Structure 1
């Protein structure tokens, strides 16, 4: 049974093709009013160095920072907003506001708090197993991945999940970083593929039709795990 509140969760979308899917649904189920902020509109997707007026992260009950097709360290391309966004993450941390960072969002949490982000030797596209040390917070099992970079842990962070390719989750104070995509649905995958993702997958020899097929098979279970992850975040973070 959900608990009615007047709390607000800020969800930061870095591009127009990345809805928060079951993550947003679960916050709403628990009574949170969802406030969306889009950083790069569709009209600027090919030249994303925009200016954006971020709301004050410290003024929300929780913040969710989603993924991005760009790299956290590419300040020549997206520094106009990624530097202010990391400042907002530090502001939220100082205020004790819980933050859930997903993929690029998790990498921003690492970079903002003293870790680092760099190109990965083992990029991941598709469904991959993740081993978790705390199933009540970060359920293990197959999660969808689409990343070319990976983080090094910031000082004081505790790694919670991993696979052979990368660290997959860490907690630092009231920040939970994930490398995988619990928000993914078949519809959002189609959006990524339609906005350059299909070509990038093909470059790496990935069969897009098989990617869609696997998503239709594993997607329902992943949505249930996404709900459990949000529940754990609200309960423990």
Structure 2
């Protein structure tokens, strides 16, 4: 990358950045999307020019390195980004990749969490300053993670102790604030997602109805979280630009 950009790591075509990308676009922060899950030695953009890192969701396990060797490279990338203070955001699988990259344990949850259900705020942070104590959000996961050492727990749910955390320059979200109405329809056109939904006792009609009911509360929270992340990426990009403008000594 000649220009600083936010690197967005996708794992499957339908788990897109959605509102995360909207937040970046609103501030004019450039981004590029890659899928490196199956690459043993992925070709990645210049790390020094990365203004931030987003790791999206996917159906694989965070430690499934045998089938998806690129996940190991993602974990290394997460650790490197956090070590130098680059903004990092992980959603669902991405949340689990951040946690496990920093030494947290990965396990199967008590039961799959699929559909809308409440999470409870444990601690207040700038990203969640407008958030009430409890809010219904979209869940879609089987695995859960522990809290990395030194991390601040931000949210939990009845069946998942770590729903959101902050550690260094990274924010992990087990739930899906990024999903827009259009993206939801893409999920519901994907057979594997529909299979999971039905196995959890849900239906397309129920999920659409719940999304319509919850979205007016979720949209402002998503805007705050993702605009905050975009602002951090923009500020980091400016430091990169300032550094590159310095004359060589």
TM-score interval, smaller chain? 0.7 to 0.9
Corresponding residue number in structure 1 for 2:49: 59
**SS of structure 2 residue aligned to 1:76:** coil
Are the equivalent residues in 1 in contact too, given 2:116–2:210 (CA < 8 A)?
A: yes
Displacement, 1:157? 0.8
Q: Which runs of 5+ in 2 are unaligned?
A: 234-249
Higher RCO, 1 vs 2 (CA within 8 Å, ≥6 residues apart): 2
- On the 8 A contact 1:156/1:172 being kept in 2, the answer is yes
**Residue number in structure 1 paired with 2:62:** 72
Question: Are positions 1:227 and 2:217 aligned together?
Answer: no
User: SS of the residue aligned with 1:61?
Assistant: strand
Structure-to-structure mapping, 1:96-135, within 5 angstroms: 96-132=85-121, 133-134=123-124
Residue 144 of structure 2 corresponds to residue 150 of structure 1: yes
Corresponding residue of 2:21? 24
- In structure 1, what is the Cα distance between the partners aligned to 2:79 and 2:31? 21
Gapped runs of 5+ residues in structure 1?
Answer: 1-5, 41-48
Q: In structure 2, what is the equivalent of residue 9 of structure 1? A: 6
State whether residues 67 and 104 of structure 1, in contact with CA within 8 Å, keep that contact through their aligned partners in structure 2: yes
Contact 1:54 1:85 in 2 (8 A): no
TM-superposed deviation, 1:91: 1.2
Q: Structure 1 segments of 4 or more deviating over 4 A?
A: 234-237
The offset of 1:236, in angstroms, is 7.3
Query: Structure 2 length normalisation: TM-score?
Result: 0.82
Q: What's the counterpart of residue 200 of structure 1?
A: 196
Among 32, 36, 49, the alignment partner of 1:35 is 32
Aligned length: 223
Q: Secondary structure at the match of 2:14?
A: coil
Q: What TM-score do you get using the length of structure 1 for normalisation?
A: 0.85
* Displacement after TM superposition at 1:7 (Å): 5.2
CA contact (8 A) 2:117 2:136 kept: yes
Q: What is the deviation of 1:234?
A: 5.0
